[in-house]
Amino acid sequence: MKKRFAVVLVLVLAFAMCLGGAAFAADKKPVVGLVMKSLANEFFKTMEEGARKFAAGDGTFDLIPVGMNSETDIDTQINAMENFISQKVSMIVLAPADSVGLIPSVKKAVDAGILVINIDVTLDKKALKDSGLPEDFLFVGPDNEEGSYLVGKFLGDKIGKGAKVVIIEGNPGADNATQRKNGFMKSVEEYGFNLVESTTAHWETEEANTVMSNLLIRTPDIAGVMCANDSMALGAVRAIEAAGKGGQVQVVGFDNIEACQALIKDGKMLATVDQFGPDMAANAIKVGLRILGGEKISGWEKTPVAVVSEKEL
């Protein structure tokens, strides 16, 4: 009888331990991996800060943010994706440096059962389809084309029709670089600008400084510069000041970083586009948590854009 009781007791304890283990597993927080672009870019620093603030306030998940050394350092992003896949995180929020190059990593993560949410730069639809992923892969972010068109119009109202302008583009492999150029081109056509040149500076400040310096030597009467991000706008403004043309060449950008807000206040830059970077990753995580909770969400979850000039600061 005692022996039978002992066996029953062991079974009861084992069952209780299983329940306790299940409860522990249920209580375990989901882990979110945030893969950003260059942390040398103030925009992604503020994105990380916003995500950390949201994670601390929400308290229902653990956040692991990582970034690149430069805007073209795609291998670091691929390695980050591999690490998150091996860690079996619950969710990856990805701002891809290349709209095609990161898709194999995205596919591997999805196949491993990890929720992947695309932010900032949309993944290429054809490449998504070719890899077996849906073309309406979830994207949480702004209308980059609309934002650049609006700030291009703002520039047009300032410098007038037919003026000479240049476009300093982002990384050619990034879809948001293409979208921003397309938006700028709409304003070029609408205002009949004389587009002197459209060339890339790969999102980088120093490269934009060199590009702008050379453009001013070749075409000293440029009236306006459209930069596809604010990091490049910083370089363009520096080149304009060094050439003694401060106030003569109007510069617009995209991202609304603090350094450019100061330039706008000082009259050294005309305007930028706010895509509310501090909220971008946090918004994606909120959507992801809803999906982990059982909701079905796909396609484009659009976030706002707004032109920021001296009036708004």
pLDDT tens, position by position, 188-215: 999 999 999 999 999 999 999 999 999 9
Record the pTM: 0.87
Tokens of 273: 């586009």
Alpha carbons 95 and 92: distance in angstroms, whole number: 10
**Given a cut of 70, is residue 36 above it in pLDDT?**
yes
Rounded CA Rg of the chain: 24
- 3-state class (DSSP) for residue 90: coil
Tokens of 127: 């490449």
Q: What is the pLDDT of residue 75?
A: 96
Q: pLDDT by residue (tens digit) across 235-266?
A: 999 999 999 999 999 999 999 999 999 999 99
Q: What is the pLDDT of residue 312?
A: 96
Alpha carbons 247 and 251: distance in angstroms, whole number: 9
Q: Residue 219 in contact with residue 225, Cβ under 8 Å?
A: no
Please provide the DSSP assignment of 2-56 as one string: HHHHHHHHHHHHHHHHHHHHHHHHHHSPPEEEEEEEETTSHHHHHHHHHHHHHHH
CB atoms within 10 A of CB 69: 10
Largest CA-CA distance found in the chain, in angstroms, rounded: 102
Alpha carbons 135 and 299: distance in angstroms, whole number: 8
Average pLDDT over residues 278-301: 97
Q: Residue 260 in contact with residue 276, Cβ under 8 Å?
A: no
CA 156 from centroid of its chain's CA atoms: 27
**Given a cut of 60, is residue 76 above it in pLDDT?**
yes
Q: What is the pLDDT of residue 27?
A: 55
Q: What is the pLDDT of residue 18?
A: 38
The residue whose two tokens read 């980050």 is 80
| Domains by residue range for the chain, with CATH | 31-142+277-303 (3.40.50.2300), 144-274 (3.40.50.2300)
The per-residue pLDDT of the chain, averaged, comes to 92
Q: What is the pLDDT of residue 223?
A: 98
Confidence of residue 21 (pLDDT cuts 50, 70, 90): very low
Q: What is the pLDDT of residue 72?
A: 84
Q: pLDDT by residue (tens digit) across 103-162?
A: 999 999 999 999 999 999 999 999 999 999 999 999 999 999 999 999 999 999 999 999
Q: pLDDT by residue (tens digit) across 80-110?
A: 999 999 999 999 999 999 999 999 999 999 9
What lies within 8 Å, CB to CB, of 259 at 6+ separation is: 42, 230, 234
